[in-house]
Amino acid sequence: MPAASPIPETRAEKLARLKPLVLKGAALRSRRRRTENLRLAVQLASLAVVLWIGYRFVAWVGRLEAGDLDSARPPGVEGFLPISSLISLRHWFESGEFSRVHPAGLVILLLAIGTGVLLKKAFCSWICPVGIVSESLASVGRRLFRRRVKLPRGLDYPLRSLKYLLLAFFAYSIFVVMTPGEIVTFLHSPYNKVADVKMMLFFAHLTSFALKVLAVLVVLSVVVPYFWCRFLCPYGALLGLLSLASPLKITRTASQCIDCALCAKACPAGIGVDRAQRVRSDECTGCLSCVAACPVPTALQMETPTRWRRVVRPTVFAGLVVALFYGGIQVAKIAGYWKTEITNEEFARRVGEIDDPKYHHGRGEIEPYGPED
Ligand code: SF4
Ligand code: SF4
C-alpha cells in the first residue's frame, strides 16, 4: 500500500507553530541594527582607507613637484585604474608576467574578482567607496520622497543592461581588439605610467562638462536609488556575472517563513527574496539587509550550497569579506606584488613634463614608444 502523503500545514497552523520564534518590536529592530552597523563599520573603515590613500597621494605629488624624492607613494591609488588593471590582467594571462607598472591595481582587481566568485558582490556593498556614497544618496532620496522609488520593470531591465554593454565594450576592446604588442606598449606607455597623476589632475581641475555629468549622476542617484551601481558600473557588472558562481547565497527556508515579505521590502536591489528559495540574482550584493529584516531568524540566511547547508552568520560573512580583501593585500605586499617598479626619480621627471602630447590619451590609437619615453 502506498504511504499516505502528509497533510499540508495550513497557514494558520504554520503561524501558530512559528509564533514563539517570531521577533517583534525592539528585538527585531536590535537584530536589524546589529547587521546594519556591522556593514556600516566595514564600509566606513574602507572609506577612511580610501580617503587616507587619496590624501597621501596628493601630498606625494606635491612633494615630488617640490623636488622631494624621498616620500612614499601609496600604491592603493591604483585601485582607481580599473582599465589599466584589466589590461595588466590580459597581459598576465597571456605572458605569465605580472606587470610591475601598476601591480597594486591588478592585485585589487584580482581580489575584487575573488570576492565576486566566493562571496557574491560583497565588494560593492562592503568595500567599494562608491557603494557607500550611493547608499547615502539613496537614503537622502528616501527621506525626500518618503518611499523607495522603483522604476517600472520595462525601464529597469533595459537600463540594467547598460552596465553589461559597457563591460562588453571594455572586454572586447582589451581582450579582442588589442594585439599582444599593443598591450605591452600600453602598459609601458608614458600615459599609463602616470595615469594615477592624470586622474588626480582630472578631478582637481574638473571641466564644466565633467561637473555637469557628476551633478546629473548625483541627482539621479537621489531620485533612483543606486543609479550608478545598478545601471552604469561595469565593475559591478563583472562582479555580478562572477557572483553567479558564488557558493554562498541567501537561502530561504520555506517551512520557517511566515510570508511577511519584509525581506523583499528591505532589499536595495529589488529582488523578490520572499519568493526565492535561493537568491541567484546577479544583482545580489550580499548586503544582508534581507537577513537583518527577517523576523524569523531561521527563515532567511546566507548559506553554503543546499547539499551542505551551513549557515554563514553576518559576523562570519563580514570577517570573510575583510579577510579575503584586506588579507589578500597584505599577502601581495609580503610577496612583493604591491609596489610599482617606477622610481620617484622617473615619476618626478614625468610629472614635470605631463603636459607633453605623449601623455595625452591615445583615444584608441596606441603609438609605439621608445625606451627613452
Ligand atoms: S537579496 Fe539580500 S543580500 Fe542580496 S541584495 Fe537583496 S537584501 Fe542584499
Ligand atoms: S524570509 Fe522574508 S517573507 Fe519569509 S519570514 Fe523572512 S522576511 Fe518574511
13-35 pLDDT tens trace: 888 887 878 778 888 899 999 99
CA distance 218 to 222: 6
Q: Ligand 2: which residues within 6 Å by Cβ?
A: 252, 257-263, 273-274, 293-294, 296, 299-300
Quick check: 206 pLDDT over 70? yes
Whole-prediction pTM: 0.91
339 or 4, higher pLDDT: 339
pLDDT value of position 364 = 42
**pLDDT, tens digit, for every residue of 262-287?**
999 999 999 999 999 999 999 999 99
User: How many C-beta neighbours within 10 Å does residue 40 have?
Assistant: 14
Could you give the C-alpha distances from 209 to 81, 213, 371, in angstroms and in order?
21, 6, 36
Tens of pLDDT, residues 315-348:
999 999 999 999 999 999 999 999 999 999 999 9
Res 5: pLDDT: 63
pLDDT at position 246, please? 96
Expressed in angstroms and rounded, the spacing between residue 146 Cα and the centre of ligand 2 is 23
Atom of ligand 1 nearest to the CA of 286: 3
pLDDT at 365: 47
Ligand nearest to the CA of 121: 1
Separation of 43 CA from ligand 2 center, angstroms? 26
Given a cut of 70, whether residue 1 has pLDDT beyond it is no
Please tell me if the CB atom of residue 284 comes closer than 6 angstroms to any atom of ligand 1: yes
* Mean pLDDT, rounded, for 206-220: 96
What does the angle CA 47 – CA 52 – CA 57 come to, to the nearest 5 degrees?
125
| Radius of gyration of the chain from its Cα atoms, rounded to whole angstroms | 24
Averaged pLDDT, 70-86: 96
CA-based nearest residue to 186, from 76, 80, 102: 102
Is residue 360 scored above 90 in pLDDT? no
293 lines ligand 1 (CB under 6 A): no
112 CA to centre of ligand 1 in angstroms: 18
If one residue of 253, 259, 277, 302 were mutated to test the ligand 2 pocket, choosing by the most ligand atoms within 8 A of its CB, it would be 259
Interval between CA 340 and ligand 1 midpoint (Å):
37
So what's the pLDDT on residue 23?
A: 78
Q: Distance from the CA of 264 to the center of ligand 2, in angstroms?
A: 8
Q: What residue has cell string 601609496?
A: 74
Site to substitute for ligand 1 among 288, 301, 302, 321, most atoms within 8 A of C-beta: 288
Mapped onto helix, strand or coil, the DSSP state of residue 112 is helix
Which residue, by CA, sits nearest to atom 7 of ligand 1? Answer: 267
CA of 275 to the centre of ligand 2 (A): 9
Confidence bin at 373 (pLDDT 50/70/90): low
Of 126, 121, 153, which Cα lies nearest the Cα of 280? Answer: 121
Interval between CA 300 and ligand 1 midpoint (Å): 11
pLDDT at position 226, please? 94
Q: Order of strands across the sheet with 311-312?
A: 249-252, 300-303, 311-312
Residue 362: the pLDDT is: 61
Contact status, residue 268 vs residue 287, Cβ threshold 8 Å? yes
pLDDT tens digits, 215-262: 999 999 999 999 999 999 999 999 999 999 999 999 999 999 999 999
3-state secondary structure of 154: helix
Could you tell me what percent of the chain has a pLDDT over 70?
Answer: 95
pLDDT of residue 167: 97
pLDDT in tens, 127-179: 999 999 999 999 999 999 888 788 888 999 999 999 999 999 999 999 999 99
Strands 300-303 and 311-312, by their bridges, are antiparallel
Backbone torsions φ then ψ of 361, nearest 5 degrees:
-65, 135
- pLDDT by residue (tens digit) across 89-134? 999 999 999 999 999 999 999 999 999 999 999 999 999 999 999 9
Atom 6, ligand 1: residue with shortest CA distance: 267
How far, in Å, is the centroid of ligand 1 from the Cα of 370?
Answer: 50
Name the residue of 294, 301, 311 whose CB sits within 8 Å of the most ligand 2 atoms, as the mutation to test its pocket.
Answer: 294
Say which residue the cell 565593475 belongs to: 235
Query: Across residues 300-318, what is the average pLDDT?
Result: 92
The CB density around residue 268, as the number of other CB atoms within 10 Å, is 19
State whether the Cα torsion 61-62-64-70 is positive or negative. Answer: negative
